Structure 1
Amino acid sequence: MDDARVTRAGFGAVLAVAEFRAMWAAELLSVCGDQLARVALAVLVYQRTSSAALTGLTYALTYVPSLLGGVLLAGAGDRWPRRDVMVAADLARAALVAVIAIPGVPLWVLCVLVAALTALGGPFKAAQQALLPTVLAGERYLVGMALRNVTIQGAQLAGFAGGGLLIAALAPSAALALDAVTFVLSAVFLLAGVRRRSAVAAAVRPAWLSTTGAGIRLIWRDPALRTLVALNWLAGFYIVPEALAAPYAAGIGAGATLVGLLMAADPAGSVLGGIVFGKWVPERVQVRLLGWLGIAAGLPLVVFVFRPGLVPAVLLLAVSGLLATGYNIQGTVSFMRRVPDEHRAQCAGVNSAGLITVQGVGAAAAGALADVLSPAHTIAVAGAAGAAVAVPIARAWRRVGREDP
C-alpha cells in the first residue's frame, strides 16, 4: 500500500495494525486513569489537610518529576527492550498507586510516592515514542500520532469533566484503586499485543550518564533537531491561557463554574486539529508549514488584548489549539524519524522533559506578570511573544528542514 493510499485510509489504517492497536488502548487506559487520579488526589489531600497550598503542591507533583524521569530514566528504552520498559513502568506505577490508595498513608509518604509515580511516566513515554516509528511505517506513523493526539486530548477532557462526578460517587481511595487497575490492564495489553524486540543497544551499554549526555549532544549538534525542539517548546508561551483561566474568567464575569470551559477550549481545538492534520493535510504540506503554524498559533491569543467575552475567548483558544496541534504532531514525527534508533528513547525523553519545564516556567511567569498587567493583557503578550519567537524558528526550519539526516 503506498503512502497516499495510507493517508486517505486515515485512522482505520493504523488501527488495523495490531501492535499499534494494543499500544493505543494501553495508553488510553493510562491517560483516563491518570486524569481520574489527579482529581482524586486533589480531593483526598484537601479533605485531609484543608490546605490549598498542600493540595496545589500534590497536584504539581503529578507533573514536575517528569523532568527527572524524562532526562535521567528515558534512556532505559535504548538499553533494554522497549516493550519490557513500558510493562515494567506500568506495573511499578500500579503498585505505587495501590499504596497511595491505602487510607491513612502519611502525607509525606504520599508526596514521595506521587513524585516517584510521575517520574516513571518519563521512561514509559520515551520507550513508547521510540517504538512507534518501528510499529508504524511511512505515513502510517503520522496518522497514528494524530490518532493518539485525538484520543489523549479527548480522554483528558473526559477526565476533567467526569472526574469530579466519579469522585462524588466513589471515595477518593476507590478512584485511586481504579487508577491502579488501569495500569495493570495497560501492561496486559502490551504483553498480549506488542511483540518483544531486542534492545537496540544490547551489545554495548554505556554508562547511564554517558547515555543521557549522548542524547543531549545529538540534539544540540543537529540544526534540524534543535529547530524541532525549539518549535515544540513554544508551548511555554501557549500554556499561558490555561494557567490564567480562573483569573480571566473572573475578569470577564464568567464565574468559577465556567473556568473548566476555558481550560477545555485548547484541548478541544487539539482534538479537531488531530483530525484535520491527521486525515486531510498531506504530510509533505505539513512539513513545509511547520514554522508558519508555530507563528499562527500565537496570533489568536493576541486578540485577548481586547478582553473578549466567554464565547469568543473559547473560540480563539480552540483555534490556537488546532494550529498548535499541526506543528506538534508533525514536529514530533519529524524529530523521531531523524533520531537514530539507538538514541530515540533518550532524545524523546529530553524533548518531553524540556517541554514540561518550559510549560511550568511559562505558567509561573504568566502568574507573576498577570499581577502587574491584567490576565487578558498577559495572554495577549504571551501570544505575541510566542509568534515573535517562532519567526526565527520558522526561518531556521526553511534552511534545514528538508536536509537529509
Structure 2
Amino acid sequence: MWAAELLSIAGDQLARVALSVLVFQRTGSAFLTGLTYALTFVPALVGGILLAGLGDRYPRRDVMVAADLARAALVGLMVVPGIPLWALCALVALMTLLNGPFKAAQQALLPDVLTDGKYVTGMAIRNITSQSAQLVGFAGGGALVSAVSPSVGLAMDAGTFLLSALLLRRGVGHRPAARRTPTRPSFLASTGAGIRLVWRDPGLRALIALCWLAGFYVVPEALAAPYAGSLGGGALAVGLIMASDPVGSVVGGIVFGRWVPERVQVRVIGLLGVAAGLPLALCVLRPGLIASMVLFALSGMAATAYNIQGTASFVRRLPDEQRAQGAGLLSTGLITVQGLGALVAGALADRIGPAHTIALAGMTGAVVAVPIALGWSRARPKWSAEE
C-alpha cells in the first residue's frame, strides 16, 4: 500500500505540472489554468461521497485495484495527440471521480494494517514519504516538462497507476468486506448515514472542518504557473513553487511525528490551522522566488502537522462498518474544497494578480480557522473522556 501510494502520488503531481503548463501555453489564461487544476480535485465530490461506501460493501483492496486500472486508462487517453481542451477536461474530471472511492478504501484499510500504536506513527511516516513523492513529482515534473513535453508526463502518470494496481494486487492480503449484512443499503442511504454520523459528533465536525481548510492553502499550487510568470520564471519555476509546500510538509511530518507527543499534537492542531495561513498572507509584499518558496514551505509545515493528527483522530473514531463512508466524506471534502479554492483563485487572479490572490487566501484561511480551533478546544476534553 505504501509503495503503491508513492507511485500514484508522484505520477499525479507530474501530471498536474504537465496539465498546468499545457493549458497555460495554449491559452495564457490564469482562469483556465486554475479551472484545469480544479478538475483534478472537484469531481471527487461525487465519486467520494456517493461511491465511498464501496469500501464498506466490497473488499477494500479490490476497490483500490479497480480504481487504479480505470484511472490508468483515462490518463492514457489524455496522451492522444491534438486532443481538444474540452475532452482533456472531461477525462481529468472522470479520473478525479475515481479518486474518491480509492482514497476512502485506502484510509479505511490502514487502521486494520497498522494496529495499536502503529497507526499514528505510520500516518506520520506515510505523510513524510507521500510529500516527498509530491516533491519529486512537482520538481521533477517541471524539469521534465521543460525538457520534453506535457504528453510525456501524462504517459508516465498512466504507468504509475498500472504499477500501483499491480503492487496492491500482489502485495496486500485479502480481507473480506467490512459490512457483512445480508442486505445492503442504497448508496444514497449509506451516504446519508455517513453524513449524520459526522454531523452529530462535535469533535468529528471540528476535525473535518480543520482538514478542509486546505481549500485556502492549496492556492499557491493552483496559481503556480501564473505566479511564476509574474516573477519572470518558466516551467522549472512552476515546478519549484509547487514543490515548496511538500518540502515544508516533509519537515513538519518529521518534527511533529518524531519529537512531539501525540497528546500535545491533539491540543495544538487548531492553532496550527490558523498558523498555516499567515505565511501566505505575506505574499502581499510581492516577494521573489526564493522568499516565496520559503513562505509556501512554512505554510505546508503547519498544515501537515495538523492534518496528520486530525485525520488519524477522525478515522479512528469511526466504526469499522462505516469507516470507508466516513473517511470518504473527509477525503472527498478535502479534494473538493481544494478544487473550489483553485477555481476561485484562478478567476480572482485574473483581476487582482496571483500574488494578491495568494495573500487573500492565506488571510481568509487563518480567520476561518479561528472558530474551528475554538470548536475543537471545546469538544476535545469530552471526546478524550469518552475514549
**TM-score for the superposition, normalised by structure 2:** 0.86
- % identical equivalent positions: 67
| Equivalent residue number for residue 112 of structure 2 | 134
8 A contact 2:223–2:354 mirrored in 1:
yes
8 A contact 2:38–2:342 mirrored in 1:
no
Residue 196 (structure 2) pairs with residue 217 (structure 1): yes
Describe how 1:49-128 pairs up with structure 2 within 5 A. 50-51=26-27, 58-103=36-81, 110-128=88-106
Q: 1:362 to 1:115 in 2, by over 3 A?
A: closer
Indicate the larger mover: 217-226 or 159-168. 159-168
Residue 137 (structure 2) pairs with residue 159 (structure 1): yes
Describe how 1:312-323 pairs up with structure 2 within 5 A. 312-323=291-302
- Give the root-mean-square deviation of aligned CA atoms: 2.9
Deviation sequence 1:120-165 (CA, Å, 0-9, x none): 1111111000100111123321122222222222222222222254
Match of 1:199 among 165, 168, 177: 177
CA distance in 2, matches of 1:332, 1:288: 14
Q: 1:235 to 1:36 in 2, by over 3 A?
A: closer
Residue 225 (structure 2) pairs with residue 265 (structure 1): no
Q: 1:179 to 1:386 in 2, by over 3 A?
A: closer
- State the 1:118 CA deviation: 1.9
8 A contact 2:249–2:297 mirrored in 1:
yes
User: Secondary structure of the equivalent of 2:216?
Assistant: helix
Q: 1:310 to 1:184 in 2, by over 3 A?
A: closer
Describe how 1:358-397 pairs up with structure 2 within 5 A. 358-370=337-349, 375-397=354-376
8 A contact 1:254–1:310 mirrored in 2:
no
For structure 1, the 5+ residue unaligned runs are: 1-22
**Which residue identity is paired with 1:241?**
P
- State the 1:189 CA deviation: 1.4
For structure 2, the 5+ residue unaligned runs are: none
Q: 1:261 to 1:190 in 2, by over 3 A?
A: closer
Q: 1:188 to 1:106 in 2, by over 3 A?
A: same
| Equivalent residue number for residue 333 of structure 2 | 354
Match of 2:275 among 293, 296, 306: 296
CA distance in 2, matches of 1:293, 1:74: 29
8 A contact 2:34–2:345 mirrored in 1:
no
**Which residue identity is paired with 1:240?**
V
**Which residue identity is paired with 2:276?**
A
Structure whose alpha-carbon radius of gyration is higher? 1
| Equivalent residue number for residue 325 of structure 1 | 304
Q: 1:240 to 1:96 in 2, by over 3 A?
A: closer
- Report which structure shows greater RCO (CA 8 Å, sep ≥6): 2
**Which residue identity is paired with 1:140?**
K
Indicate the larger mover: 206-215 or 85-94. 85-94
Match of 1:231 among 210, 228, 233: 210
**TM-score for the superposition, normalised by structure 1:** 0.83
- State the 1:293 CA deviation: 1.0
Number of residue pairs matched? 380
